[in-house]
Amino acid sequence: MALANGITLRSATESDFPAIVELAEVCFGMRYDRVEIDNIPGLFPTDRAIVAVDDGQIVGHTVDTTMTVTVPGEGTVQACGVSSVTVAPTHRRRGILRALYTEQHARTEAEGVPLTMFTASEGTIYGRFGYGPATVANEVSIDRKKAEFRPGTPDPGGVRTAKLADSHDHIREVYDRWRRLTPGAQARPEANWTIWFADPERFRDGASTLFVLTHPDGYVLYRRQWRDDESVATVAEFRAVTLEAHIALWRVLLSMDLLDRVEAELVDDDPLPWLVTNPRLVRTKSRYDGVWARIMDVPAALSARTYRTDLDIVLTVADPFRDAGGNFALRVRDGVAECAPTGRSADLELGIDVLSSLYFGAHRARVFAAAHRIQAKDPAVLRAFDDAFAGDRDPELGWFF
């Protein structure tokens, strides 16, 4: 496909891979570790990449893979996971990203995949393409020496220290049980485990290699570091399938000698602040979006998840970037939805980016309505829509891509 200025878009071939890696390193300002380079094609096959080429040089790139992602109600949906979206600094703001996304969406639509997802480098770029932030992560810092569990908090035990090399099967097995419960979490391909288990230096940020705690229903991967005269443990991955595992693992993390601070990522509903006597000690340093989602097929996506309450509603969904959208009747009984295009007039209007932000249950419809991003016929319609879409479990990204 030819763009203006003689730039063309085409599918990548294996021989493009070194140039694609170089472009990503230039654009993201880092160098991959060898193990990442060796495993990227296993995660994101190069022949699925789209490249923009100017005078024989690759100046733009996007790639995707199909992911199995959990939705509210513990069902799954297929999603196109987009990665490494890059445009050379010499070719910015000429519409290359826009062209790459137009082509990416056309391919996803042709494959009939109802959702696309990615992790965004900036918050202002992707709303125009129909994406909305769809999970929330809170980066917390805990003054370990002051943290005490409330009297009466269970102490389930069962945690062991372990070597990473001896824990691969346990970690894989627990992750898989966890992701089946957690909206937004993806099945994890072997190539991603290979990278994690190699523990590349780039991931360490000057800290130690990974330490491991295991529990029959959970695990923690963390690193240790001296920082600003403090001994810090930074949790790289915390997965607990049960509340017992959650408490047991936190009890060990917060009882380590010679440790001043624990840093971790929590979802909004993580009970940790309420397990300790002083909830302020679980101090939120930053709060950010984990994954951005975009519904490609409204009926398929909306009928894949379950809902909290019955609902009969007609939505007008605006999707100008794809020249799609329209009116959809959504009927929910006992949690199960039927959704189809309809000629009936709308009860509620919203953009595809907002519907996508609501999809996994991280955000509430009433909040978007307060921000003038949802227009409802009357307050009762908004309340019913808000109740039905609310999730029972906070969504979370499973593995970063």
Ligand X SMILES: CC(C)(COP(=O)(O)OP(=O)(O)OC[C@H]1O[C@@H](n2cnc3c(N)ncnc32)[C@H](O)[C@@H]1OP(=O)(O)O)[C@@H](O)C(=O)NCCC(=O)NCCS
Binding site for ligand X (CB under 6 A): 27-28, 85-87, 92-98, 118, 120-122, 124-125, 128
Distance of closest approach, residue 398 Cβ to ligand X, in angstroms: 18
Distance of closest approach, residue 40 Cβ to ligand X, in angstroms: 15
Distance of closest approach, residue 83 Cβ to ligand X, in angstroms: 8
Task: Give phi and psi for 105, each to the nearest 5.
Answer: -65, -40
Q: Side by side, which strands form the sheet with 218-227?
A: 160-162, 211-215, 218-227, 230-240, 261-266, 136-143, 282-289
Distance of closest approach, residue 315 Cβ to ligand X, in angstroms: 25
Q: Which one, 37 or 198, has the nearer CB to ligand X?
A: 37
Q: Which one, 32 or 193, has the nearer CB to ligand X?
A: 32
Q: Which one, 97 or 365, has the nearer CB to ligand X?
A: 97
Q: Which one, 23 or 266, has the nearer CB to ligand X?
A: 23
- The DSSP-derived string for 177-208 is HHHHHSTT-B---HHHHHHHHH--GGGTTTS-
> Which residues, in sequence order, are bridge partners of residue 67?
79
DSSP-derived 3-state class of residue 112? coil
d(CA 75, CA 78): 10
Q: Which one, 118 or 360, has the nearer CB to ligand X?
A: 118
Distance of closest approach, residue 43 Cβ to ligand X, in angstroms: 16
d(CA 179, CA 168): 16
Do the strands 230-240 and 261-266 form a parallel or antiparallel pair, or are they unpaired? parallel
d(CA 397, CA 117): 10
Rounded to 5°, the CA angle 56-87-97 comes to: 110
Q: Which one, 86 or 234, has the nearer CB to ligand X?
A: 86
Q: Which one, 104 or 306, has the nearer CB to ligand X?
A: 104
Distance of closest approach, residue 204 Cβ to ligand X, in angstroms: 22
Distance of closest approach, residue 52 Cβ to ligand X, in angstroms: 8
d(CA 78, CA 69): 6
